[in-house]
Structure 1
Amino acid sequence: MNVSDALDVLKKEGYKYTGKREMMIQLFADEDRYISAKEVLEHMQKDYPGLSFDTIYRNLSLFQELTILEETELEGEKRYRITCQTHSHHHHLICLTCGRTEHFHTCPVSEEAIAKQFPAFQVEGHKFEVYGTCESCSLQKEAGT
């Protein structure tokens, strides 16, 4: 999803366009990683010094509800990223050091196997994340930086 698409979703769903919302969405569009509410607040306080965590959390919750953002939990903290632009079925590799994500299109979950073992269970979807260290962070660790 890009900024324009996200703002269109807000408008279509009857939510007010604000500079703060656009700035938040732009931040996520510029990052290829999951980021925390604290990082969002720190980034936005340069332009909006009185901004509160409540405002950040309300908008993060709204953006997730409208599928503008995806959520995961890393180290006990919720983190967010802009919804992937690819509509093909995929999962994520997530770097625990920098939070960057990569898509992988091999799916380890067989919905047919689930249906065979649990025939009454109706699968609505699934999410699979693999956590580790990306190449860049591994190289930095090896170099001792």
Structure 2
Amino acid sequence: MTASRSTRQRDVIARVLSDAPGPLGVSDVHARAQAELPRLGIATVYRTLRLLTEQRRIHPVLLDGETLYEAAGRGHHHHFSCTRCGRVFTLHSCPVNLPDGAVYPGGFVVEAHEVTLYGQCPKCAAGAAAGG
């Protein structure tokens, strides 16, 4: 494999994650990247995700025991997981007013927090309301 092909694959996978509305699993990254790189193998996706994580261009998100990936540099945010379609969305507002350094009852000093909300995304909720 040439360096340019490797760079192209890396760039396509990084762009897939950057364009996604939320973190993606390996199979989703693979499927979306194959739209541009039809011969892209799953092993290459795994290697590229590891490399992009090491380079801190992306970071893993553990959600319900599954590792998903998203582009780095999105600032403080949380996730919404649709219980109907399985998609995960990035929420840009924080439902928790708990700044770093806050002391939680019992003497716990907060350094960071992660929140995942579960329910139905707008599309699934509209389908359920319409009887679908």
Q: Report the TM-score when normalising by structure 1.
A: 0.65
2:130 corresponds in structure 1 to 143
2:57 corresponds in structure 1 to 68
AA matched with 1:32: P
Larger relative helix fraction: 1
Q: Residues 26 and 54 of structure 1: is their aligned pair in 2 closer, same or farther, counting only changes over 3 Å?
A: same
Q: Which ranges in structure 1 are unaligned for 5 or more consecutive residues?
A: 1-15
- Does the CA contact (< 8 Å) of 1:98 and 1:137 recur in 2? no
Partner-residue secondary structure (3-state), 1:19: helix
2:87 corresponds in structure 1 to 98
* Equivalenced residues, count: 122
- Does the CA contact (< 8 Å) of 2:79 and 2:115 recur in 1? yes
Mapped partners of 1:100, 1:53: distance in 2: 23
1:41-56 matched pairs, under 5 angstroms: 41-46=30-35, 47-49=37-39, 51-56=40-45
Q: Residues 141 and 76 of structure 1: is their aligned pair in 2 closer, same or farther, counting only changes over 3 Å?
A: farther
Mapped partners of 1:79, 1:35: distance in 2: 5
Q: Residues 143 and 84 of structure 1: is their aligned pair in 2 closer, same or farther, counting only changes over 3 Å?
A: farther
4+ residue segments displaced more than 4 Å: none
Q: Which ranges in structure 2 are unaligned for 5 or more consecutive residues?
A: none
For residues 70-117 of structure 1, give each alpha carbon's deviation from its aligned partner in whole angstroms, at most 9, with x where no partner exists.
3222343211121244x4xx3313223321211223544453315x82
Q: Report the TM-score when normalising by structure 2.
A: 0.70
RMSD over aligned Cα atoms: 2.9
- Does the CA contact (< 8 Å) of 1:91 and 1:127 recur in 2? no
Paired residue for 1:19, among 1, 5, 8? 8
